[in-house]
Structure formats: C-alpha cells, structure tokens
Structure 1
Amino acid sequence: MTGIGKFVAASVVGLGMATAALAQDTTLRVSTWLPPTHGVNTEIFGGMIEMIEAATDGRVTGELVSGLAPPPAQSDLILDGAADIAIIFHGYQPGRYVATQLPELPGYEGSAEASSVAYWRVFEEHLAAMDEHRGVKVIALNTHGPGQIHTGSDVSTLADLDGLKTRIGGGVAGDVGGLIGLVGINVPAPQVYETLESGAADAVAMNVGERIGFRLDEVAPNLFEMPGGFYRGSFALIMSEETFADLPEDIQTKLDAEVFGEPLSRMAGAAWDLSDELAREAMGDDATTVVASAEDQASFAETTAEIRVRVLEELIEAGVDADAAYQMMVDEMAAVSAE
C-alpha cells in the first residue's frame, strides 16, 4: 500500500471510530415537570431509557432534567431544542387538540395498558393524518387509568359531588365535571396538594395512582369511583425531530422498530396501572372508597353521552371516520385485555 493509501485508510478508520464514539456518547435530555418520585419519572421515563439503551446496545441513553418549563410549555421546549424528549398532557391546552379527546371519553372498559395500546393503533389508523403534533415526533401515546374523584369529605352518591370545588383538567375531564356539577379549579398537577391543603379546592379529579404521586391521602383521603372512570387523561411522549434526524440511521431504525410507537405506549400504560395498584394498597385506614351505585352509573352514562356526540362530530369535521375510530378504540381495548 502506498503512503497515500495508508493515510486514507487510517483516516477512514479514525473517522469510523469517532462516529462510533459519538454514537456511544449520545445522551438525550428528557424534560420532566413532575415530582422526582412520581411514576412518570421512575417507571415511564426510567423504563423508556432502559428500552432505548437495550435497543441501541448502550449507544444512546437519557437523563432527566426537571424544571425547564411548566407543563403546558413542554412542546415549546422540544421545538426550541431545549430538551430532546418530553411528556405532554393534552388537557393542559384545551382547544388545541381534537383527536386526543377520543381516548379521554368515559365509558371504556379496560386497563391503562389496554387503552394506551389501543390509542396508538387508532392514532396510526385514523388520527395521525390530523398532524396535531406538527413539528415534533410522537414516540408514544398513553392514558392514565380511569380518572376518579378524590375528596376531603365523605361522598356516597353522584349528587354529593354537586357544587364541590374540584381541581380538574381540561378537555373531556373538564366537560364531564361541568355536567355533573363540579365547580372547576384550573391548576397544574404539581400544585394539587397545596390547593387542597389550603382549602381552595374540596376535591380533585385524578387517577388513583396520583394518591402516591401527589400525596392525596393527606388532603383528600376519600375516593368516589365510577366504574370505567369519569374520564381518562391523554398523554404523548414527544421527541425533537432534529435530534432524531441527527442519530445514525441504524439507531433510528432500531428505535422505531423496538421502542417507539406501540412498545413504548404499552409500557407507559402498564406503568400507570402499576401506580394505581400501588396506591390502592397504600390507602390509609382513614380513607374510604365508595363505588357509584348502578343507578348513579346509569345516570352518569346518560348525562355524559352528549360529550361523545360532540367529540365524534369534531372528528368528522376534521375529516376522520369518527365512528370507525371510536369502535376501533373499543375493539382494540377488548383485544389487548384478552391477551
């Protein structure tokens, strides 16, 4: 080999080594707005990072970064390049998202894992074309478990909820609250404890798992449950398109095939289920749980039927086969539940 040939060969090898080193050193900045011990951080983000490391043979990892922006501004963080991955709760921006209301509707039967897998499948089949997350890469969709009402005072019937000042999210949850007589108070989830402790709110609408994440046992020990939930909350895990594009092609392929989409959505849903289970086990002796009577369940279904009609009409206006999307959500939840 000539001297020039040796130089070129050495340069190519050196370039390959540098590229490999760069890939091995890729650490994704994962923005979180939740308390350090919350299940989103420990289970969902923690599990996601493990999945990423496994799929990329350790060439890509992630680190949690907290306090970068309030919950409603997480999408902007990704668009601005201040973080690589974030989780957004669609209810924080009512009116911005239409498609995300579909999995939030009351009346679905099944776990958060079932609803999250179904959500991703329906998204791919019917909702992705709406491009409501334009500018970012949607890497997973999920819902928490059935949303219930946590109160400081005893509640035994649907009528007892009338007039309660309740922290409740936007979107479908807010619509449901209005129809059953709750007086909505709009504060971000991290402020729930202080809002209840100060007496500014009498109750909060959240999934059962948040009893641990936001210490609800201390300020709202009583639980009033509607089978299937009063609603479900919709979340998306989003990633910077530029960050993803900058990853080596083989890494992109592995992440899309083994992590992003249904696998990550399923894992996130299962994590929400785990948080609900742990919270039920940890409920204090002073806490009470009341399940809505059959009469209240029928009344609730009748009262909230108009919300489903409205959501499906909005989807139709957006060009979605709304009836097919809704039925697919129901059918896929049943299929996952039967696995």
Structure 2
Amino acid sequence: MNRSFRIARIAAAVILAAGTTHAMAQDKPVELRFAHWLPPTHPLAKTGFEPWAKSVEAASKGSIKVVFFPAQQLGKAPDHYDMARDGIADMTWINPGYQAGRFPMISAGELPFLMSKPGGGSAALDAWYAKYEEAEMKDVRMCLSHVHIGTMHSKKPILDPAEVKGMKIRPSNGTIQAFMTLLGATNVQVSAPESRDALEKGVADAITFPWHSIITFGIDKVVKHHNDQRLYASTFNWVMNKSWYDKLGPAQKKVIDDHCNNEWAGKVGAAWGDDEDSGQQKLEAKGGHTIHKLTPAQHKAWRDAAQPLYTSWIEAAGKAGHDGKAALEALRAELKKQGALNE
C-alpha cells in the first residue's frame, strides 16, 4: 500500500467518523421507557439494566435517555409483553413463562437440568432463539434473551421428588408448573414480588427461585431449606415497541442494534448469574438456613422425574410447526459450545 493511498484511506475514515458524529448530533433526543417488575435494588437492575442503559446513553451521545419504571409501576409482571406491544412502555423485560403455552419455542430454555451456567446458557439461548423469535414474538422487536438458574427453597426439607406430592408450590414458569403438577403438587400462581406474601400466609409451602433473589425479595425470612442443585432455568427477553424503534434516526438505531446482540445477552446473563449464585454463600453465612447437598441417587431421581417434560416440549414444538427433536438437539449443541450444558 503506497503512502498516498494510506493517506486517502485515513481521510475517508475521518470523514466517515465525522459524518456519524454529525448524524448522532442531529438525531432528535428520545426517551426509552424501560419497564420491569423488579425492585430497583435487585441484582439484575444493578448488574444488567443500569450498565446497559449507561452504555446506550454514552454511545448515543445522550440522544437516547433511558428511564426505568421498576416494580410493576406500569403494569403487572405477566403483562409486560403486551405493554411493549401496545406502547405502554418502549422496552420491557418479560418472563414468557408467566404465560404458559403462549411462547412454546422459548420455553425449551425452561426444561429442568438442561443448563449449568447462566452466562453461557444465556448466550446459547439467545443464539438459538434467533431462528424462532421473529415468528413467535411477532408483535414486538426482540432485543436479547437470557436466563437465570435456580432451585427449590422450602419451609421443610424436600430432598426427593416424591416428597413434593400434596405440597403447594410457587413455580418459576409454565414448565416448572407442569413439573410440579406431574409430581402431585398444587401450583400457586403468583409473580415474584407477590411470592413472599404467599409463603408467609401459608398459601405456598415452597418456591423455585434463584439464590440471591431469595434475599432480595425477603423470602429468606420465610423459607429455611434450600436444595443445592441446578433444578431449572427461567427465560427472559428484552423486547421493544416496534413503532418506537422505527422512529429512531439511523445512528440511534445502530446504537440500539449494537446493544441488542448476543454479546450483551451473555454479559447480562453472566453478571446476574454470578450475583445470584453468591446468594447461596450469603444464606449459609446468615445462619438458620440449611443447604441440602443431594446424593447422586437423589439427583438421578429428580432428573428421571423430569423426563416427561422433554417429551411434552418436543410435541408442543411440533404443534407450532417445528421439528422439536432437532430443535432441542440444536439448543443442546449451542449450550455445549458455550460450556453451559448440564451433563
């Protein structure tokens, strides 16, 4: 490459950068109303939502201002998908498992004992779901997908799946609801913010939840027994109102696109997952809590009991027009690639 050509390339790059900066400066300032149902002090708010928002604001040179509406301010937890669809909020954080059966493909991520790591699991789920999201969540624009991983927390020890029979369980999502029904339990359908009250009043005996959120929501005051296993994962999506996105300037759209990608999915999942996992040690340090280390035979009993859920998911995927067996194998392959397959 001769010197004059190098100079020309440098000049072109400078012009392009200047043009991008100018375009950003010309973008009309917009507000991104981001709704979720967590308390503003929740670990995900601090490790996921807020860093993402600050990065968006910095990359947009302040032309996109993110304003949070936490703690169900704009609507109940199960309503957040429809809130984004209808423009009640510009972006929402949804748990599709709160509406069992509505989003069959993403519920593959809820299958028990499938994922071992929340960061890698989030990156894998996000990459895998890209094939299905446009059709399954056609009312909104997808930003990213991620997971948390949790276990069983209860008022009395539950070491074997047979012990669930006759109990009242607050499940984390539709798949775990089906699992508890399979085991003979009664499901108590309340959102995360309402869970402590249900347990305190005896409406529920146990809950499937991530470790640190047990403390964040004050549930540690009610349940004292915790199983040390990767029982389940819950899937989450960040979704946008289509009209809000369409009205952005080109440079603003690029900022959003750069923050709605697989890298951010993995980053959010890992940051939140690490914080959630830290809750186990904090509960042990508190005293008054028993962490139950299950035996290999007990682990196997739980895994065996969950197998019908895999068959049911494959059938549900088939009804949605997909090859469920192939889709599940593809998800397992993504998880293995990310080192997050629970083998």
* TM value normalised by structure 1: 0.86
1:197 aligns with 2:200: yes
Post-superposition offset of 1:97: 1.2
Alignment equivalent of 2:216, drawn from 210, 213, 216? 213
| Alignment deviations for residues 3-40 of structure 1 (CA, whole Å, 9 cap, x no partner) | xxxxxxxxxxxxx99983654x3221111212221123
1:69 aligns with 2:69: no
Cα distance in 2 for residues equivalent to 1:64 and 1:254: 18
| Alignment deviations for residues 227-269 of structure 1 (CA, whole Å, 9 cap, x no partner) | x31x21111110111111111112212321x210212211221
Regions of 4+ moved over 6 Å? 16-19
Query: What's 2:7 paired with?
Result: none
Identity %: 24
1:295 aligns with 2:300: no
| Alignment deviations for residues 104-149 of structure 1 (CA, whole Å, 9 cap, x no partner) | 1112242111111111111123x235x121221110111111x311
1:17-166 to 2 correspondences below 5 Å: 20=25, 22-23=27-28, 25-66=29-70, 67-125=73-131, 127-128=132-133, 131-145=135-149, 147-166=150-169
2:240 match: secondary structure: strand
Query: What's 1:280 paired with?
Result: 280
Contact kept? 2:35, 2:93, Cα under 8 Å: yes
| Unaligned runs of at least 5 residues, structure 2 | 1-20
Distance 1:56 1:324, change over 3 A: farther
Distance 1:75 1:69, change over 3 A: same
Cα distance in 1 for residues equivalent to 2:23 and 2:110: 47
Query: Over aligned residue pairs, what C-alpha RMSD do you find?
Result: 2.2
Contact kept? 2:168, 2:203, Cα under 8 Å: yes
Contact kept? 2:212, 2:279, Cα under 8 Å: yes
Contact kept? 1:173, 1:232, Cα under 8 Å: no
Aligned residues: 316
Cα distance in 2 for residues equivalent to 1:303 and 1:51: 44
The amino acid across from 1:238 in the alignment is: V
Cα distance in 2 for residues equivalent to 1:44 and 1:19: 25
1:144 match: secondary structure: strand
Cα distance in 2 for residues equivalent to 1:164 and 1:213: 24
* TM value normalised by structure 2: 0.85
